[in-house]
Amino acid sequence: MDGTSLPQPAPAPSAPAALRVGVIGLGVMGGPMAGHLARAGHAVAVHDARRGAAEALAAAHAGMRACASAAELAAHSDIVVTMLPNGHVVRDVVFSERTGLLAGWHAGALLLDTSSAEPWLTRETADRLAAHGIAMVDAPVSGAAWGAEAAELVFMVGGSAPDVARVRPLLDAMGRAVFHLGALGAGHTMKCLNNLVTAVTLAATAEGLALGTRAGLDPAAMTDVLNESTGGSWVSRTHIHQRVLNRRFDDPFKLALMRKDMDIALGLAEAQQVAAPLSAAAHGLWQAADQDRGPGASVSELVRWVEAQMGVEIRSGAATDVPVAAAA
């Protein structure tokens, strides 16, 4: 040997330290997310308003703890992940007397809200928590149920850099991409805008396919053309063949939730004193579809509502008339 030092291999990255994490909201998104956190080695406590949901999930994951209340969960968690319908529900879960998170939390804890919520409510909740020494990060998701199950969610994040760094191991365990968009509330702002664009795109795609079907084109072929052309979108790639042409209309995301996200986006536009005429027009269509389709309807039902308005089914083969009265 000539005494020259040889290059040394870089040390292997250390695994993130196990964290005490709580998850509240164990539906089609929150349940799989909690499972990924448990498999990543974190100590996970879970709670849900539905009787038995937390116990069933905990039974499927070694070491997971089911909690009877948010306060009990907070006592076992340094970071709590919420996946709830809106910011009002998040606020109730945090501040409910005796049973809320705040009743069981300690200073230094952190709320990681992955719900699709109103950014102004997020900031209000964060301000109240800060008075108790508790931080907050908003990190709503895109990716739908399949993304939650496959740990391929996309997180849109708002919060201070140190707080985001603190929750980053959890986001990495649950998703494939993390975008830090700015201060607290930025994540929820981006989420409502993302869903606003998606909603307008779904309505426009449905109208175009219905019109083309009426004119004698095969909607399966039209969808293939869109996917190779400038009219293509996430909607045309993942929704039409998969849920419309087969007549399943079975996306687990609810139509009412999409309408709620549009409400948030248009509320943001009003607060910013910005006109959004195209979005407002689309919002009216989604409101009508929501009222017509009824509680619990899939977001896919927007397409069936468009079919009823235009009097044609988007079905491969010959165009099929649909009574317009069905939308009444």
Decide: residue 140, CB within 10 A, 0-12 exposed, 13-18 middle, 19+ buried. Answer: buried
The residues, any chain, with a CB within 8 Å of residue 259's CB and separated by 6 or more, are: 199, 283, 286, 287, 290
Residues in the chain: 328
Decide: residue 17, CB within 10 A, 0-12 exposed, 13-18 middle, 19+ buried. Answer: exposed
How far is the CA of 257 from the CAs of 29, 322, 324, 327, in angstroms? Answer: 14, 26, 25, 20
Name the helix (H) or strand (E) containing 112: strand 110-113
Q: Is 260 a catalytic residue?
A: no
β-pairing, 110-113 vs 65-66, is unpaired
- Could you give the angle at the alpha carbon of 302 between the alpha carbons of 266 and 275, nearest 5°? 20
Decide: residue 117, CB within 10 A, 0-12 exposed, 13-18 middle, 19+ buried. Answer: buried
Spot the catalytic one: 42, 47, 123, 191. 191
Task: Tell me how far apart the alpha carbons of residues 128 and 95 are, in angstroms, rounded to a whole number.
Answer: 9
Task: Tell me how far apart the alpha carbons of residues 266 and 116 are, in angstroms, rounded to a whole number.
Answer: 14
Helices (H), the chain: 30-39, 53-59, 70-75, 87-95, 101-104, 119-130, 144-149, 161-174, 186-214, 219-227, 234-238, 255-271, 277-293, 301-310
Point out the residues that are catalytic.
191
